[in-house]
A and B are shown apart, each in its own frame.
Chain A
Amino acid sequence: MGRYVVRRLLQVIPVMIGVTFIIFCLVFALPGDPIQALAGDKRADPNIAAILRAHYHLNEPLYMQYWHYISGVFRGDLGETYNGRAISDIVSQRFPVTLKLGLTSFAMEAVIGILAGMLSALKRGKFLDNVVLVATLLLISIPVFVLGSVLQLEFGMNLKITPISGIDKGWPQSYILPAIVLASTSMAYIARLVRSSMTESIRADYVRTAIAKGLPRRRVIGLHALRNSLIPVVTFLGFDLGALMGGAIITERVFNMPGLGGQLAQSVYLRESPVVVGLVTLLVLIYLAANLLVDLMYAVLDPRIRYE
């Protein structure tokens, strides 16, 4: 297991270099002039523009620009925006918001999704099962901004129990509504996933054995059946953890939260390649870590999977 983890961690290095290079090329290929963009509608002063171009190596060929960037990254310098702001600054300001929002909705979707799915599987065909099925269908089909606006209107405006937008109230108040909105779709998927895998495992022979052993029902369901049902769910959760950490453009916009998603969208728009590449690099790292975590969880949940 230890060797496996080391090997996986070493794999991260080539993946990182490849991904940053591809992103760098893509941003480079975007039309428009970032220095001109700084000046807005007016024509940029040619002298200043020339100084800026030299400072940001914009006159050099692509591979040299990439070299300047990646060597900086290895020295721990993520570079700066064309406004002269350090990117590490942006990350340290924006990432905590995304982290809090992402982890809150991750916890929500995992706990509520798994519980709803279990309940549904145990009461298959009964009223409660139908409630879960209809509710998940609704959650999957309602667009995020609609759900967000409705919640803002009801809980923020009418009932006044949560802030409408912004993060002034801090965690948890300001994060509850956006986390619900962000979690809703995945929560519904997880509930359905758990429902189908649980339905299968409660009919399995080993569950019958567990009953024949005289184990209490809680233990039969909560340990013997659930352990086997969780394997597909962990795959989905791992994938989703990566996605949540990448920021949520729409949810952040609706609730006016300064997270990574909004920043990334804005930087792509402004052609700030150092920012885009820096943020994407961070997201790739998070994805890789989430993936590794999932693969390790597999081995814990299912001993038939072994990594050597």
Chain B
Amino acid sequence: MTIIDPTDAVPAPRSGDDQKTGPLLEVRDLHVEFQTREGVVRAVNGVNYSVNSGETLAVLGESGSGKSVTAQAIMGILDMPPARIPQGEIRFYGQDMLTMSADERRKLRGARIAMIFQDALSALNPVLSVGFQLGEMFRVHQGLSRKEAKAKAIELMDRVKIPAAAARVNDYPHQFSGGMRQRIMIAMALALEPDLIIADEPTTALDVTVQAQVMDLLAELQREYRMGLILITHDLGVVADVADKIAVMYAGRIVETAPVHELYKRPAHPYTRGLLDSIPRLDQKGQDLYAIKGLPPNLLKVPSGCAFNPRCEKAQDICRTELPPLVPVTERDGAELPGRASACHFWKETIHG
């Protein structure tokens, strides 16, 4: 693979001993805010997470919890202004991308970090053929000719299992079904075999049977290329199958992190517990489905203390005044639970009691 005009500042591909410099991607204390007419919307308030090669991190949360904004900040596709990143670091192989020049970041986008969007119909350009849009990656980043790029595009469409790829390469997005379109989005993200893929609710717009196919394909390709994957979703069912670890977000903060199965077994935050309890289950047929009462907070006026306190059944006075930090969660006897943390004053009661 030849990358035209490689810049020294751009980290070398994963293969060598780059792994020593730290995780593939590390987000540290990231803040993002938007200037609006009504005031400053604090969409992301100090997010920390990291992903390694071959690992899948699921970021879970309601609409407006800041999960997509965090992803867009990582990709560098936020509209600035109105968005602003007042503090924080986004380290890719140890190097802070927020201090890079615009052109250095552009060369990382698509080539080293790629993104899969939610609604493939609007995310693909309606007036350009899919072959052109796929081939564009090779033409711009690798300087291939039109013809070579088209051959590569067909290869990619084959790889994401689009039937009759060679015949369909000149078709336009509206001529494909929803599932096929999402496969094209995946193919586009995979084109240059990036180190990290961010999938922003990749299956939300699809029906359930197609969802499973698309997730399986994504998981399979991720294993094959040993990519890091950040999977943004609000679908707990999708997460359980493919994720290695989970970060739950609420009002622009991470409220709980845990390895995937631990989280389902023993949530350490009342919000996570609420999310899990609101999954419909066959063995509870006939009973009322649990719902977290209230609405997600207005990000112009985040409640003081713990942002979840107005909706939390266990809220005490301290929850209304003091912001709970994200602290490591341990067993009852103090034994460490690696990878687990919770931002609740009463995490002990929640997990153990």
Partners in one complex: yes
Chain A residues whose C-beta falls within 8 Å of the C-beta of B125 in the assembled complex: 206, 209-210, 224, 227-228
Let me know if A32 is at the binding interface, CB within 8 A: no
CB–CB B109/A303 < 8 A: no
Contact check, B124 vs A206: say whether CB atoms are below 8 A apart: yes
Name the B residues within 8 Å of A303 (CB-CB).
Answer: 126-127, 129, 172, 174
Q: Which residues of B contact A224 (CB under 8 A)?
A: 125, 128
The CA-CA distance from A213 to B149 in the complex, in Å, is: 15
* A304 and B109 form a contact (CB under 8 A): no
Q: At the interface, yes or no: A211 with Cβ under 8 Å from chain B?
A: yes
Residue of A nearest to B102 (CB): A217
The answer to the question of B122 belonging to the interface, with a C-beta cut-off of 8 Å to chain A, is: yes
Query: Is B122 touching A213 in the complex (CB atoms < 8 A)?
Result: no
Chain B residues touching A, majority SS: mixed
Q: Is B77 an interface residue (CB 8 A)?
A: yes
Tell me whether B109 and A205 are in contact (CB under 8 A). Answer: no
Across-interface contacts of A212 in B (CB, < 8 A): 75, 77, 109-110, 114-115, 117
- Chain A, 221-265, CB within 8 A of any chain B CB: 223-224, 227-228
Residues of A with C-beta under 8 A to B127: 227-228, 301-304
Within the complex, what minimum Cβ distance (angstroms) separates A208 from chain B? 6
Which size class do A's interface residues fall under? 20 to 34
Binds A, one of B84-92, B133-141, B252-260, B336-344: B133-141
Q: Is the CB of A228 within 8 A of B126?
A: yes
A18 at the interface (CB under 8 A from B): no
- CB pair A216–B122 under 8 Å, yes or no, is no
A215 to B126, CA, bound (A): 17
Contact B140 A213 (CB under 8 A): yes
Known contacts A213-B188, A219-B140, A302-B127; is-contact A204 B122 (Cβ 8 Å): yes
Across chains A and B, the number of contacting residue pairs, with CB separation under 8 Å, is 71
B119 lies within 8 A of chain A by Cβ = yes
Chain A residues positioned under 8 Å from B352 (CB to CB)? none
Instruction: Give the residues in chain A near B123, CB-CB below 8 Å.
Output: 205-206, 208-209
Q: Is B128 a contact of A205 with CB atoms below 8 Å? A: no
Q: Does A31 sit at the interface, judged by CB under 8 A?
A: no
> Nearest-CB distance from A122 to chain B (Å)?
13
Classify chain B: how many residues form its interface, as a range: 20 to 34
Question: For residue A2, which residues in chain B have a CB less than 8 angstroms away from its CB?
Answer: none
Say yes or no: is B47 at the interface (Cβ < 8 Å to chain A).
no
B168 at the interface (CB under 8 A from A): no
* Residues of chain B lying within 8 A (CB to CB) of residue A211: 77, 109
B-contacting residues, A34-72, CB 8 Å: none
The CA of A212 and the CA of B141, in the complex, are separated in Å by: 13
Shortest A308–chain B CB gap in Å is: 14
Q: A212-B75, A212-B114 given as contacts; is B107 within 8 A of A206 (CB)? A: no
Identity of the chain B residue whose Cβ is nearest the Cβ of A212 in the assembled complex? B115
How far apart are the CA atoms of A211 and B106 in the complex, in Å? Answer: 8
Question: Taking the complex as formed, is A76 at the interface, i.e. its CB lies under 8 A from any CB of chain B?
Answer: no
> Which A residues have a C-beta under 8 Å from some C-beta of B?
204-206, 208-216, 219, 223-224, 227-228, 301-304
Which residues of B come within 8 Å of A, CB atoms?
75, 77, 106-111, 114-115, 117, 119, 122-129, 136-137, 140-141, 172, 174, 188
15 further A-B contacts with Cβ under 8 Å, apart from A213-B188, A214-B110, are A205-B119, A205-B122, A208-B77, A209-B188, A211-B77, A212-B117, A214-B108, A214-B111, A215-B106, A216-B106, A223-B128, A224-B125, A227-B125, A303-B126, A304-B126
Top 9 closest pairs, chain A to chain B, by CB: A214-B110, A214-B109, A205-B122, A206-B125, A213-B110, A303-B172, A205-B123, A212-B115, A209-B123
